[in-house]
Chain A
Amino acid sequence: MKSEAEVRPRAFRGLPAFLWTEVLVQIHEELAMATSMMVQAVLLVFVWVLNPGLIGVALVGAVLFSMFAMGQRVLNEAAYIRIDHKVSDLYLASPLSAEAYFLGMSAGVLLVYLPPVVVVGVLAAVVIHLSLVEVGLLVLLAGTVWLTSASIGYVFSTAFRDNRAIWAYSSLFFNIFGVLPPVFYPFGLFPAYLRPVALLMPPSAAAALVQWAIGVTVLTRPEVYLASGGLAVEGLGLFLFAVYWARRTVRGE
């Protein structure tokens, strides 16, 4: 029989161990790791060819887009191990808490895919001569983008019964949130009537704030409030909702 420590229910129980499990799973997927920055690299080349002067903005965009993409990997991973492997049942019908399952998976993906993003971030800092405060802002915003995206990814993953359907949605998310809005290019080039929409999308809101902080883009005060307030609410709100949703969806109805 089990010891008392093992049978006591606790929030986030098993988080470090499941996080490490996910790290092990991800580091064995060398091909996925090697190609994780492919889209960002292609977009950087486009920007370099079209306007080398914007490469600094594009590098910042690549960092934020990558954080968003890592969150979206959670969508694929959570759906894959639930639908194809059903190994999720093994973990969810165990003392591992549902929130530890969600957060461990998300953080495991983050840890493995983070190093090349850090390299791009350092490059951005060097190219644009970011101050320490600006670096801090970039890190904070990148973290918020990741948290928002991972929360969206996990919640959406629970809605699917077929992995093939996810490919289409995944591509849609990537393009609508990361490629179309002003993430890789200056916010000022985006049509004025669509700016509020872009300021509510996590990657473009974060990009706009960094661009504003380094003087590349002019934002009005309401726009700054909308972008920063929106990101904070989305990040925290969606994370709390994802925790609630993770607990709720352990059991089918």
Chain B
Amino acid sequence: MSGEALRSENLRKVYHSKGAPAVEALAGVSMEVRRGERVALLGRNGAGKTTFLRIASTLLRPTSGTIEVFGYNADKTPDKVRPYIAVVPQEGKPFFHLTPREQIYSYLRARGLGRETSKARTEEALERMGLIEFGDRLSITLSGGQRQRTMVATVIATEAPLLFLDEPTIGMDPFARRAVWDSLRTLTQRGSTILLTTHYLDEADALSQRLYIIDRGTVLVSGTAEDLKRSVGGTMKVLLPDGAREIERFRSFGSCVRDAESLTVISSPERLGELMEVAVRARLTATVGPVTLEEAFLRVVGRSINEE
């Protein structure tokens, strides 16, 4: 098998439909995911994340470009790729008339795993996702979050070498989300690779070792969450609730974002003392904190929108 779990080069996908203009969902995406990595794919709605995941998971054909999973061409040899992957589809739901225990076990059996292994992994996945209590209830009686946990548990139980998770924690409570994060970390420690999409930026920050931000079918930025935060001009932010009118005083410290009366200055830790002195002289109250991935994401994607 290849050294990389996934590699795409100049991947394009154009959707054609009758009576509507063609839509270019991917406009030449190149990326690679190394074995054992957890990588997040971020972007606005319609950025092309799900299209990329569907092509990578052999469920959609690209218009052009190449994509390889463990060295196998996912477009030309999908049968060779499928044993290595497992997918949590976006908005996917388990069979309503199966219990979580039946869903996980039967899925593992359908993948070709033996009875004993399937049984053991089913129980482990139910335990990890906090589903033991609901394990024998039909999914139709479960809440949306519990159903989503069932889907994630089903895929986690495969321990497949490469997992694709399209918004895996949508609708989950904070405890369940953290259970998913822990499970995914454990899986990568055991050698699996994970590519996930999410709109929860705290999740991407906590979970991913690297991330790609895509917008309108192209990769805008790639790197670690810290790289991204630094790329927006610093890793610290100072919120000045009444600072909007004093924006000129702060421009030299980094990027400034004005929102009604308040001003947010993104700067480096080294310049924090100086910045606070200016705030005190201007009789402004200030709150200091780290730049979040969400703020960096908004800056990066917002800049891309403004550039057009």
Chain A complexes with chain B: yes
Assess whether B97 is interfacial by the CB under 8 Å rule. yes
Query: Is there an interface contact between A20 and B94, defined as CB atoms closer than 8 Å?
Result: no
Q: Is the CB of B95 within 8 A of A96?
A: no
In the complex, chain A residues whose CB is within 8 Å of the CB of B107: 21, 90-91, 94
Is B82 on the interface with A (CB-CB < 8 A)?
yes
Contact with B along A69-97 (1 / 0, CB 8 A): 00000000000010011110111111111
Determine if A14 is an interface residue (Cβ-Cβ < 8 Å).
yes
A26 neighbours in B (Cβ, 8 Å): 97
Q: How far, in angstroms, from A87 to B139 measured CA to CA in the complex? A: 13
Contact of A17 with B by CB under 8 A: yes
Report the bound CA distance from A225 to B78 in whole Å. Answer: 42
Q: Scan A9-51; emit 1 where CB is below 8 A from any B CB, else 0.
A: 1000110011011001110110000000000000000000000
Q: How large is the interface on A (under 10, 10 to 19, 20 to 34, 35 or more residues)?
A: 35 or more
Shortest CB distance A191–B (Å): 39
Answer whether residue B109 sits at the interface, using C-beta atoms and an 8 A cutoff. Answer: yes
Does the CB pair A85–B58 fall under 8 Å? no
CB-based nearest A residue for B158? A94
- The smallest C-beta distance from B141 to any residue of chain A, in angstroms, reads 11
- Contacts A86-B89, A90-B107; A95 near B97 (Cβ below 8 A): no
> What does the 1/0 interface line of A229-253 toward B look like (CB < 8 Å)?
0000000000000000000001111
Instruction: Report A109 CB to chain B, min CB distance, Å.
Output: 13
In the complex the two chains form, what is the Cα distance from A14 to B54 in whole Å? 22
B161 lies within 8 A of A2 (CB)? yes
A86 touches B90 (CB 8 A): yes
Please determine whether B110 and A94 come into contact, CB atoms closer than 8 angstroms: yes
Answer whether A87 and B78 are a contact pair too, CB < 8 Å, given A2-B161, A250-B59: no
With an 8 A cutoff between CB atoms, is A5 at the interface? Answer: yes
CB-nearest residue of chain A to B112 = A6
User: Is A89 within 8 A of B89, CB to CB?
Assistant: yes
Contact present for B91 and A25 (CB under 8 Å): no
| Interfacial chain A residues near B86, Cβ < 8 Å | 90, 93-94
**Chain A residues, Cβ within 8 Å of B61:** 251-253
**A84 B93 Cβ-Cβ under 8 A:** yes
Q: Is B129 an interface residue (CB 8 A)?
A: no
Contact of A90 among B79, B80, B84, B154 (CB under 8 A): B154
CB nearest to B151 among chain A residues: A90
Q: Which of A17, A81, A94 contacts B82 (CB 8 A)?
A: A94
- Complex contact A17–B93 (CB within 8 A): no
In angstroms, Cα B109 to Cα A1, docked, is 17
Give the docked Cα–Cα distance between A231 and B192 (Å): 50
Q: Is A7 an interface residue (CB 8 A)?
A: yes
B111 in the interface, Cβ–Cβ < 8 Å?
yes
0/1 per residue, A187-207, Cβ < 8 Å to B? 000000000000000000000
The CA of A136 and the CA of B58, in the complex, are separated in Å by: 43
Is A28 a contact partner of B98 (Cβ separation < 8 A)? Answer: yes
Which residue from chain B places its CB closest to the CB of A28 in the assembled complex?
B97
Q: Which residues of chain A are within 8 angstroms of B110 by Cβ–Cβ distance?
A: 14, 17-18, 21, 91, 94, 96
Closest to A101 in B: B110
Residues of B within 8 A of A87 (CB): 89, 92-95, 151
For the complex, give the distance between the alpha carbons of A7 and B81 in Å. Answer: 9
Decide if B269 is an interface residue (CB 8 Å cutoff). no
Q: Among the listed B59, B95, B109, B113, which residue makes an inter-chain contact with A89, where contact means beta carbons less than 8 Å apart? A: B59
> Are A95 and B83 in contact (CB-based, < 8 A)?
yes
Interface residues of B in 78-125 (CB under 8 A from A): 78-80, 82-98, 102, 106-107, 109-113
Q: Is the CB of A94 within 8 A of B111?
A: yes
Min distance, Cβ A94 to any Cβ of chain B, angstroms = 5
Q: Are B98 and A93 in touch, CB under 8 angstroms?
A: no
Shortest A245–chain B CB gap in Å is: 16
Nearest-neighbor residue (CB-CB) of B78 within chain A: A251
Give bound CA distance, A232 to B160, whole Å: 42
- Measured between C-beta atoms, what is the minimum distance from A202 to chain B in Å? 29
- Cα A81 to Cα B79 with chains together (Å): 22
- The contact of B112 among A14, A89, A93, A251, by CB within 8 Å, is A14
Q: For B267, list chain A residues within 8 Å (CB).
A: none
Closest beta carbon of chain A to B125's beta carbon, Å? 14
Give the Cβ gap from A74 to chain B, nearest Cβ, in Å. 15
| Complex-state Cα separation, A34 to B90, whole angstroms | 34
Does B57 sit within 8 A of A, measured CB to CB?
yes
- A-B contact sample (6 more), CB < 8 A, given A6-B83, A14-B109, A21-B109: A18-B106, A21-B98, A25-B95, A87-B151, A89-B87, A97-B79
- 6 inter-chain pairs at a CB distance below 8 angstroms, sorted by A residue, are A17-B106, A90-B154, A94-B83, A94-B85, A95-B112, A253-B61
Binding site for A on B (CB under 8 A): 54, 57-61, 78-80, 82-98, 102, 106-107, 109-113, 138, 151, 154-155, 158, 160-161, 164, 191
The 5 closest A-B pairs by CB, nearest first: A28-B97, A9-B79, A89-B89, A17-B109, A7-B83
